[in-house]
Structure 1
Amino acid sequence: MPYTYEKRWAGLGALCLAMSIITLDNTVLDVALPSISTDLKASMSELQWIVDIYILFFASILITIGALGDQFGRKRFLKIGIVLFVLASLGAGLSTSTLELIFFRSLSGVGAAFIMPSTLSIITHMFTDSDERMKAIGLWSMIFGLSQGLGPLIGGFILEYTSWHWVFFINLPIGLVAFLYASWILPESHNKSAKADILGMVLCVLFLFALTYGIIEAGVSSWSDSSVRISLIIGLIFCAFFILWERRCSHAMIPFELFEKRTFTIPSFAIALIVFGMVGSMFFFSQLFQTVEGYSALEAGLLLMPMTLGVAVGSKYAPDVVKMYGAPLSIGGGMIISALGMAIFVFTIDVHMPLWAILGGFLIQGLGMGFSMPPSTDSIMGSIPKEKAGVGSALNDTTIELSAAMSIAILGSYVNRIYLLHVKEIDVDFTLLKALKTSIQAAHTAIASLNDNALEGNLLHLVDQAFIEGVHHTMIFGCLISVMSGLLAIWLLPKNT
């Protein structure tokens, strides 16, 4: 059945299916991290790389790959992306070491960068009526949010009945159907005048990876370590080259002039902080629930669901809040509400954390996010000239992905550093201490093999408290930053935004 205009809604289904595998992938992975750590003996820094490598490749090449897709064929790039993603998922599921898994996760990120911009570009091409296009993008956004939100629950269900390998294998049948469906019904489209900023993309990849490596390694050793300092310096040098090039390039991947507008910069910063808090929470609490508190993967997935529910409810009522109180108060107030959710964790986090605090904290945190994100996105897109709407949308997606990557790198490094400082004080032999320092999962496995109930109980208490202490400090940090940023958003955003 070749594509005709009447088949545009069926074509939208193919695009949503293709997009769902890349949005589902990361949040499904969150609840699998403790199992991966135990099975592959992955350290905290390796867990950070397993998550971050995907996001970094995805975010750093997204805009340029989108321009190349416009030039050489959007449908072609979509299909290439699906094939890459499926093969990378197969490799990830078959991985027997963290190095293999990190490699295949990087390929998944490349595949995702081919898929994501192609979906929106094809939607714009298929839906020529503006009202229909808005409805189509609305449905696309709903599937995007739904697949992200259901990720922890689906991941928990998979781990309840199979192994962590299947959080990657699940992408194979979905990807196969999406490839056949897209090949069958989607039209090919081009924009021959599009130009890709290849040098900008290379510089972006280099500076992001150097900075991320330095930040993650600082959590293992220290900020004074020579390799950490060298990595950060290299990252900053490439960052400077990137900015200089982007300001001179006629087809730059990032139009820096947009950041001169408060209605673009402040909401972008707000969204970055919201995603920073959400991704960090899911990364740590999935490990806290399963390894420290003893919940199953499915139970951990269910405990994370109130955040998704809060985002959905907040997003639904955000337009009414904006009408009543204005966008600055909705954006800034939402960030402060989100901070209140984190404040509940600050005061209640423990080995036996009360259920009401878990559910209530995530619900309030999600509600604040929901109030902030729609008016932030609307302000961003409203401040961009129509002829640059595609670039602005891609830049918004890149901001979201990079803030997620930085959340894992910065907060993970912070938690790992505090955890290691506490564990180093435990008086045990060198072999056991090495296992305790690897990760909280490795610590539990090593302690369980001691066959000494009294010693086991004491050591478990010490390592659990070390991990909780790290997460507790990140919640304090996140809470304070969200409150201050929310107040700044209320103060600095124009009242008619």
Structure 2
Amino acid sequence: MYQSKRMILTIIIACQLIIVLDASIMITAIPQIGRSLHMTATSLTWVQNGYILPFGGFLLLGARAGDLLGRRRMLGIGIGLFSLASMLAGLAPTAEFLLVSRAFQGFAAALATPAALALLSASFVEAKERSRAIAIYSAVSAGGGSIGLLLGGFFTDFISWRVGMFINVPIGIALLYLVQRYIQKTGTRTGRFDFWGAIVSVIGMTAVVYGFVQAAERGWGKPETWISLAAGIILLAAFVLIEARATEPIIPLRLFANRQRSGAYLGRFLIVCGNFSLFFFIPQYLQNVLGFSSLEAGLAFLPFTGAQFGMMYLMPGLVHRFGNRKVLMAGLLLAIMGTLWISRIVGVQAQFFPQMFILLAIMGIGAGMVFQPLTALGLSDVDPQDTGAASGLINVAHQSGSSLGLAILISVFDAAIHTDQPSKIHFAHAISSSILGSVLFITSALIVTLICFLPASQPMREQALTDSCQGNEAS
């Protein structure tokens, strides 16, 4: 039984790793992709958002599909389609072909990811083993981005950025075999797909992100900027109405009835808004200002990655001793401190070692302390029929934070650069402003978690919430 569970965890972690890697593996390759496919700086942001938006937008539909059609089946379908899309992206002859392939990748990832997390939740039910499994899953989810930077830089410098896509194909084939062999077939049930809810949410979020990208490229005064933002907000409001009236919604609004769970979702969204953007801006700074190669820019994130993965081994003990809330708060404070400090030292004459090295390690420790508690709290006290939706919602918060945070901070970068032909001084100043925006996002996450995890004022509600928190911390 132990060997079987270890193999299930290995499959789930490997699946999550290749999906998370693909959100960042292109970042260090962006200059070369732009040259080879003749893409502008603004259009290159869609290499990232073209993957992240359908990933986040269709996650809940993927979670619902897993509930109805079986989670093992959807995991296999998602991995198979992801491998095919990766091969197409690697072969892309034009920018348009690459962006469509990346969107296809994101859709496939949306089918596989919630099934993987739901299988993890169902396979590890004992408190101690579940805590360890979630710690490993959270470390891979959060740290996989920096591994992607390293691999992307290596492939770009020594072979080609296309290898970052091709490598998913043999890994995907191996995972398909292992899924069929080691994961038991899961049950199916009858029900309906909330197709319109999924479509409206994807189009709405895409419109909002497009509006911020247009603001960066054309300015806030252009009609297309405000029309896109207004349309996105209206569509997202319509999505909430659709979910409230749907017989079987992809987001059961009852998931937000628990204040702590709502805080976990919103807190995760805000943290990723700030955290993921660092993976985009810091490599650009290292390459364009300090003259790092693609591989060197990827290697520069090793202190972040090493610290984050190191926390994976300490987190079960920390959570057991101090509880999810205290560990989460401490991690957020470390992340804020490291990110704020690094925003102040970015400049033309800055040196990577020792200051940036140490600060990236501090930021990695902070990131390693926040995602496991947020995952555990996001899954706490969820009814069995809502497990898939809750798992999907955790990933939606993560991916929508990635895309929206990057879009907003790109507009901050563009506003701060002040010229069409920026010097290194202009570029460094704009990067510093963008990283300061990341600090504001992470600070907002701290405020949200403080509000959502404070005891209620009435004595009876206070005691009930205390009991609930103790139960969550034990899990």
Please indicate the TM-score interval, normalised by the length of the shorter structure: 0.7 to 0.9
Q: Which runs of 5+ in 2 are unaligned?
A: 456-465, 470-475
**1:384 — aligned with what?**
382
Shift in CA distance, 143/252, structure 1 to aligned 2, threshold 3 Å: same
What whole-Å deviation, never above 9, does each CA across 1:400-453 have from its counterpart, x for those lacking one? 11101112211122213333x322xxxxxxxxxxxx5xxxxxxxxxxxxxxxxx
TM-score by length of 1: 0.83
Q: Which stretch of structure 1 is more off in the superposition, 299-308 or 149-158?
A: 149-158
**1:292 — aligned with what?**
289
Shift in CA distance, 8/346, structure 1 to aligned 2, threshold 3 Å: closer
Query: How far off its partner does 1:384 sit?
Result: 3.4
**1:464 — aligned with what?**
424
**2:472 — aligned with what?**
none
CA contact (8 A) 1:332 1:488 kept: no
Correspondence 1:87-236 to 2 at 5 A? 87-123=84-120, 140-141=137-138, 143-144=140-141, 147-236=144-233
Count of aligned residue pairs for this structure pair: 456
**1:446 — aligned with what?**
none
Correspondence 1:395-406 to 2 at 5 A? 395-406=393-404
**1:63 — aligned with what?**
60
Q: Which stretch of structure 1 is more off in the superposition, 361-370 or 208-217?
A: 361-370
Q: Distance in 1 between matches of 2:42 and 2:210?
A: 10
Query: How far off its partner does 1:85 sit?
Result: 1.4
Q: Distance in 2 between matches of 1:325 and 1:229?
A: 46
CA contact (8 A) 1:32 1:297 kept: yes
Q: Distance in 1 between matches of 2:371 and 2:6?
A: 27
The AA in structure 2 aligned to 1:465 is I
Q: Distance in 2 between matches of 1:474 and 1:239?
A: 26
Q: Distance in 1 between matches of 2:167 and 2:407?
A: 27
Query: How far off its partner does 1:282 sit?
Result: 0.6
**1:309 — aligned with what?**
306
Q: Distance in 1 between matches of 2:381 and 2:221?
A: 42
Shift in CA distance, 18/491, structure 1 to aligned 2, threshold 3 Å: closer
Shift in CA distance, 362/209, structure 1 to aligned 2, threshold 3 Å: same
Correspondence 1:20-31 to 2 at 5 A? 20-31=17-28
Shift in CA distance, 493/479, structure 1 to aligned 2, threshold 3 Å: same
Q: Does 1:52 align with 2:12?
A: no
Q: Does 1:494 align with 2:454?
A: yes
Shift in CA distance, 187/293, structure 1 to aligned 2, threshold 3 Å: same
The AA in structure 2 aligned to 1:398 is V
SS in 1 for 2:99: helix
CA contact (8 A) 2:134 2:372 kept: no
The AA in structure 2 aligned to 1:330 is V
SS in 2 for 1:293: coil
**1:407 — aligned with what?**
405
Q: Distance in 1 between matches of 2:319 and 2:124?
A: 29
Q: Does 1:349 align with 2:346?
A: yes
CA contact (8 A) 2:135 2:316 kept: no
Q: Report the identity percentage.
A: 27
Shift in CA distance, 123/488, structure 1 to aligned 2, threshold 3 Å: closer
The AA in structure 2 aligned to 1:155 is G
Match of 2:358 among 357, 360, 363: 360
Q: Does 1:32 align with 2:29?
A: yes
Q: Which runs of 5+ in 1 are unaligned?
A: 424-435, 437-461
**1:477 — aligned with what?**
437
Query: How far off its partner does 1:130 sit?
Result: 7.7
Query: How far off its partner does 1:182 sit?
Result: 3.0
Correspondence 1:203-282 to 2 at 5 A? 203-282=200-279
**1:453 — aligned with what?**
none
What whole-Å deviation, never above 9, does each CA across 1:16-35 have from its counterpart, x for those lacking one? 43333212212222221222
SS in 2 for 1:19: helix
Q: Distance in 2 between matches of 1:464 and 1:320?
A: 45
Correspondence 1:420-459 to 2 at 5 A? 421-423=418-420, 436=421
**1:458 — aligned with what?**
none
Query: How far off its partner does 1:15 sit?
Result: 4.1
The AA in structure 2 aligned to 1:71 is L
Query: How far off its partner does 1:113 sit?
Result: 1.3
Query: How far off its partner does 1:329 sit?
Result: 4.3
SS in 2 for 1:253: coil
Q: Which stretch of structure 1 is more off in the superposition, 243-252 or 484-493?
A: 484-493
Query: How far off its partner does 1:399 sit?
Result: 0.5
The AA in structure 1 aligned to 2:234 is I
What whole-Å deviation, never above 9, does each CA across 1:433-479 have from its counterpart, x for those lacking one? xxx5xxxxxxxxxxxxxxxxxxxxxxxxx432222222111222332
What whole-Å deviation, never above 9, does each CA across 1:115-158 have from its counterpart, x for those lacking one? 21232344566678787666666655555456444222222222
CA contact (8 A) 1:44 1:416 kept: no
Query: How far off its partner does 1:281 sit?
Result: 0.5
Q: Distance in 2 between matches of 1:5 and 1:187?
A: 15
CA contact (8 A) 1:332 1:487 kept: no
Q: Distance in 2 between matches of 1:152 and 1:80?
A: 27
CA contact (8 A) 2:287 2:294 kept: yes
CA contact (8 A) 1:331 1:490 kept: no
Q: Distance in 2 between matches of 1:481 and 1:132?
A: 32
SS in 1 for 2:160: coil
TM-score by length of 2: 0.86
Q: Which stretch of structure 1 is more off in the superposition, 79-88 or 293-302?
A: 79-88
The structure with the larger Rg is 1
SS in 2 for 1:422: coil
CA contact (8 A) 2:379 2:391 kept: yes
Q: Distance in 2 between matches of 1:374 and 1:177?
A: 28
Q: Distance in 2 between matches of 1:393 and 1:285?
A: 30
Shift in CA distance, 110/285, structure 1 to aligned 2, threshold 3 Å: same
CA contact (8 A) 2:139 2:368 kept: no
Q: Distance in 1 between matches of 2:6 and 2:311?
A: 28
SS in 1 for 2:104: helix
CA contact (8 A) 2:157 2:294 kept: yes
Q: Which stretch of structure 1 is more off in the superposition, 294-303 or 73-82?
A: 73-82
Q: Distance in 2 between matches of 1:176 and 1:151?
A: 20
Q: Which stretch of structure 1 is more off in the superposition, 117-126 or 343-352?
A: 117-126
What whole-Å deviation, never above 9, does each CA across 1:75-94 have from its counterpart, x for those lacking one? 33333322321221122112
**1:41 — aligned with what?**
38
